[in-house]
Amino acid sequence: MLDHSFSWRGNDIRWTRRGSGPPLVLCHGTPWSAALWAPIADVLAADFTVHLWDMAGFGASTMADGQDVSLAAQSELLAALVAEWALDTPHVVAHDVGGAVALRAHLLHGVPFRTLALVDVVALRPWGSAFFRLVAEHSEVFTALPPALHEALVRAYIAGAAHRPLSVEHADLLAAPWLGPVGQAALYRQMAQIEPRHTDEVEPLYPGLDLPVLVVWGEHDEWIPVDRAHRLAALIPGARLHVVPRAGHLVQLDAPEALTGALQRWLLTGAG
């Protein structure tokens, strides 16, 4: 699916481009990859040139010992990709920690966006489940788990992000990058490195955002409760809020038609 490569700090960053029209960049979160956005990207590609990419340490991009996969590094990577693609003020849609990555790229690294849609994003404290914190404190123990136990844990963790039961196909798609010794180490590496201090650095800057912003949230998000959506929208001048009924954190799978429709309306009309 990701048929292009970008070399960055020793990492092979995989990406693809589809469609035609104004540039649109989709940012995934954790423990996901660009594959989560792919079906929605296919629809949006009718009106936009959609850019999909896997963060360092995720999906088809390089997973390696000693890798910097922090939110700080990923935001620098996004800035480098936008420059590599020679994009002039792209639309950006970001999910989960992809929201923190996009916000840092814009607010700290000066990457200009035309609009920004934030979908169930990591942006405000408190965030990070008890399990996430446990892994951060004992990542070496989880990396050493027997493969069968690791796979069971990964599948249970992923299933907890959805409001509706995941299909076998979707569960396999989301779990696949994290299985095997390389994927297992990569999962716990990024969980150990993703820290609240990297959102703390940009949270005071949200009231200064000067671009159209849409905040989209699954009504039943158990990973990042919907109250964060209301708080975030209130902090950003002029931000619009759209809560998706009967959806959890994996709103792309819980309510794909509703999310796609909301993004289409925003990108084609609401955001001008």
Residue ranges covered by each domain of the chain: 4-126+195-270
pLDDT at 108: 98
| CATH of segment(s) 4-126+195-270 | 3.40.50.1820
* Residue among 76, 66, 83, 67 nearest 100 (CA): 76
Matching residue, tokens 């931000």:
239
HEC string of 119-162 equals EEECCCCCCCCHHHHHHHHCHHHHHCCCHHHHHHHHHHHHHCCC
Separation of alpha carbons 51 and 79, rounded Å = 13
Query: pLDDT at position 212, please?
Result: 97
Which tens digits make up the pLDDT trace of 19-74? 999 999 999 999 999 999 999 999 999 999 999 999 999 999 999 999 999 999 99
In the predicted model, what is the mean pLDDT of residues 125-148?
A: 87
Q: What's the burial of 203, exposed, middle or buried (CB within 10 Å: 0-12/13-18/19+)?
A: middle
Q: Of the candidates 101, 3, 13, which has an alpha carbon nearest to the alpha carbon of residue 62?
A: 13
pLDDT digits (tens, 9 = 90+) for 203-245: 999 999 999 999 999 999 999 999 999 999 999 999 999 999 9
Task: Compute CA distances 163 → 4, 25, 139, 184, 250, whole Å.
Answer: 33, 26, 27, 25, 7
